[in-house]
């Protein structure tokens, strides 16, 4: 299944810039862990690692990310020279939603890192960064997309809770999906540096329609029962507390967001 050549050809056919480096593994513990190792070794920006399947894939807060064959498991190395690094997960979500639309699937974005189809999870994003005295040195941006319907490869508790690109009526190759995601990601990555407000606007236009509704936000310190108000210029969630005051919630604080009740 691993086909770096097909990905390079698909990027070229789209007129998209080629990657600075590319690895595609049949099996890997974690594409993000591999990108982090490459980052520490000095690999350039836009180095990408893919795998047909992962044995140790993970999402936010270290939670296991089921990674059976047939999905896109991609991590990309960035060395950002802009301040709005917190917008990268939102930019990646927009890129995934745009790529999904190419394959006939209309997706919505749920803060901070989920891509949903009719409330079921299509994709997720994981951003991990390393900082030094001068600020953020590099970011490993992991993206997982359920490309093919592979219910048998998922834990029983997840079946029925996930969506796939098969629902668009096509059976896309993983390399084609990877090329679409990477092409859109390049556009929105550049926008984070040059037009961050456009990133927030694009994300908001694709977000789940929960604004103004009561939600429960699980954090390490308990559960907040609030109303959603928006996303600010830094990518933080803005909520209304029970007393009416506004509060910013950072993605690193959050374990989950759901509608109240």
Q: Judge if 107 and 197 occupy the same domain.
A: yes
Name which of 133, 118, 123, 126 is nearest 96 in CA terms.
123
Helices (DSSP H) in the chain: which residue ranges? 4-13, 31-40, 88-102, 174-194, 196-205
Q: Judge if 131 and 111 occupy the same domain.
A: yes
- CATH number of the domain at 223, please: 2.30.30.100
Number of domains in the chain: 2
Tokens describing residue 65: 């990310």
Instruction: Note down pLDDT in tens along the chain; length 261 residues.
Output: 468 899 999 999 999 999 999 999 999 999 999 999 999 999 999 999 999 998 866 555 456 556 778 899 999 999 999 999 999 999 999 999 999 999 999 999 998 889 999 989 999 999 999 998 888 999 999 999 999 865 555 566 666 778 999 888 887 999 999 999 999 999 999 999 999 999 999 999 999 888 888 888 888 778 889 998 888 988 898 999 988 999 998 887 777 888 886
Residues 6+ apart with CB under 8 A from 125: 89, 92, 93, 96, 113, 114, 115, 141, 142, 143
pTM (2 d.p.)? 0.90
Domain that holds residue 88: 4-205
d(C-alpha 40, C-alpha 38), whole Å: 5
């Amino acid at each position: 299944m691993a086909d770096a050549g097909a990905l390079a050809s698909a990027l070229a056919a789209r007129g998209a810039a080629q990657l600075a480096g590319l690895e595609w593994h049949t099996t890997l513990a974690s594409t993000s862990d591999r990108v982090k190792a490459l980052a520490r070794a000095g690999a350039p920006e836009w180095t990408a690692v893919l795998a047909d399947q992962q044995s140790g894939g993970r999402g936010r807060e270290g939670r296991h990310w089921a990674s059976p064959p047939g999905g896109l498991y991609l991590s990309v190395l960035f060395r950002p020279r802009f301040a709005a690094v917190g917008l990268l997960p939102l930019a990646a979500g927009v890129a995934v939603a745009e790529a999904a639309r190419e394959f006939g699937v209309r997706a919505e974005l749920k803060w901070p890192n989920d891509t949903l189809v009719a409330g079921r999870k299509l994709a997720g994003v994981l951003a991990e960064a390393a900082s030094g005295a001068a600020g953020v040195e590099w970011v490993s941006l992991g993206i997982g997309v359920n490309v093919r319907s592979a219910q048998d490869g998922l834990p029983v508790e997840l079946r029925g809770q996930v969506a796939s690109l098969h629902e668009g009526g096509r059976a896309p190759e993983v390399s084609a999906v990877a090329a679409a995601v990477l092409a859109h990601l390049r556009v929105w990555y550049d926008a984070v540096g040059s037009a961050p407000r456009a990133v927030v606007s694009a994300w908001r236009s694709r977000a789940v329609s929960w604004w103004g509704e009561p939600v429960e936000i699980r954090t390490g310190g308990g559960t907040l029962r609030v109303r959603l108000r928006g996303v600010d210029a830094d990518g933080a969630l803005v909520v209304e507390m029970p007393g009416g005051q506004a509060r910013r919630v950072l993605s690193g604080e959050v374990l989950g967001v759901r509608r109240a009740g």
